[in-house]
Structure 1
Amino acid sequence: MLSIPLINMKRKIVIEILSSLLILLFVYTGVSKWLDFKTFTGQMNNQPLPNWMTPILVWTLPAVEIIISGFLMFDKTQLIGFRASLVLMLLFTLYTLLVLLKTFGRIPCSCGGVIENLSWPQHLVFNLFFVGVALAGMILKRKEKLKIS
């Protein structure tokens, strides 16, 4: 039987792996949006959203991704980071589901980098994977905090 310190150490390692996956995702997507800002802005204008939202979204979405990454980097803010990751990934997943259900008249994409090469069903699987990562991280981090308290 594993001792409690060993279980806690394994939990910490898993939490770090989960947070690292989300950090890589959000830093990559956030920075790629800023590096190709003109294309990203054009893609956001192509979304089935009111155009007045574009100036807000093109600045806040990458910033939120980077801020969430910052929360995930530090032990004291990791739970907030996991929760925020879960919310953001659920929103992305909902959007992907709406596209797959043909809710919009056209199929836009504002993904950056290699992610834009995924088909919409692949996007859904990709997003669901990261929903699972965020959810698992949140659950493990909450258990860790409860053990400490």
Structure 2
Amino acid sequence: KKSTFILAQSERRQMYEKKDMSKAKKGTLFHVSDYVLRFENQMAEVSNWHFEIELTLKSQNRYTKAIFPKYLRLLTQKRNAQLIYVTPSNIIYNSLDMFKEYFMLKKQDEELKSIDASAFDRLHIVSSKEFNGVLKKMLEENDFINER
């Protein structure tokens, strides 16, 4: 038995859902992915697949101090979650891969000790040319979706 696909949400809709009824003040930062796909298994457990479409490279500080730590914490807390970075640019692809490698090497540092090693297995960096094939393979092989 396979898990059920529940929804696809855009960045705009995720922001609306987070802000709605929130007491957050003006200027509050909300971190959401470009898209999220949600699956639910027979036990009503949820798996969110977060997609980031990277068309421009952000600053090194932003990746190392904010973006990657945030997503690595999320992947540690949500064991069924996946993060898929998709980019058409070789330069951006190589940079993202380098940042992932940087955090894998820094895993021994005190501030990253709480990051689960499996988080790195669920952080995928994909060329837009290979996206369809990679996504198809991920869907076929994912234990949560295929309820193994």
Q: The TM-score by the shorter chain falls in which range?
A: under 0.3
Q: Which has the higher strand share?
A: 2
Q: Which has the higher helix share?
A: 1
Give the structure with higher Rg (CA). 1
TM-score, with length taken from structure 1: 0.24
TM-score, with length taken from structure 2: 0.24
Higher relative contact order (CA 8 A, sep 6+): 1
